[in-house]
Amino acid sequence: LGGMQRYWMVPDELGAVSDGGTRVESMNVEYGTDDEGNEEITLFIFKCYNGMAVYKIGTGVTGDEPGPGIKGDVNGDGEVNIADVNAAIDMILSGNSSASGDVNEDGEVNIADINALIAIILNN
């Protein structure tokens, strides 16, 4: 299979997201095809201390595919607000970033994403 892309993660009760840890409570695997007919696998992983994550694996999967959810909803709570700014800052400072923190979609999580996030909040 060609690539793997994390689509989104739901933070744990402490507001953290992580690919680390061994406390996987359950995992669901879904087989299917993408829009071009390429085989792909979707993994739904539920962890007791690290929230939930969704991954896509397949030859047609690339890192630039948008995930589901609301643009700017960095912490995955369904709203775009100051909590998302805090989550994005935490990602930058910890070096543990995810696609949800890349608000301006330039492939990096940095201060430009904070600015984009604030613009989204002010325009809502």
Tokens of 105: 């979609």
Q: What is the pLDDT of residues 27-56, one digit of tens each?
A: 677 888 878 888 887 777 665 554 566 667
Please state, in angstroms and rounded to a whole number, the distance separating the CA atoms of residues 95 and 80: 22
3-30 residues labelled b (16+ CB within 10 A) or e (exposed): eebbbbbbbbeeebbbeeeeeeeeeeee
E strands, 48-122, are 52-58
pLDDT confidence band for 68 (50 / 70 / 90): low
The answer to whether the predicted template modeling score (pTM) of the entire model surpasses 0.85 is: no
pLDDT at residue 31, rounded to an integer: 80
Q: What is the pLDDT of residues 97-124, one digit of tens each?
A: 777 888 988 888 999 999 999 999 998 6
pLDDT at residue 117, rounded to an integer: 94
The interaxial angle of helices 82-94 and 111-123, nearest 10 deg, is 180
Q: What is the pLDDT of residues 1-28, one digit of tens each?
A: 445 555 555 555 555 555 555 455 666 7
How many Å is the Cα radius of gyration of the chain?
Answer: 15
Domain coordinates in residue numbering, the chain: 1-67, 69-124
Look up the CATH superfamily of 69-124: Dockerin domain (1.10.1330.10)
> What kind and span of H or E run contains 45?
strand 39-47
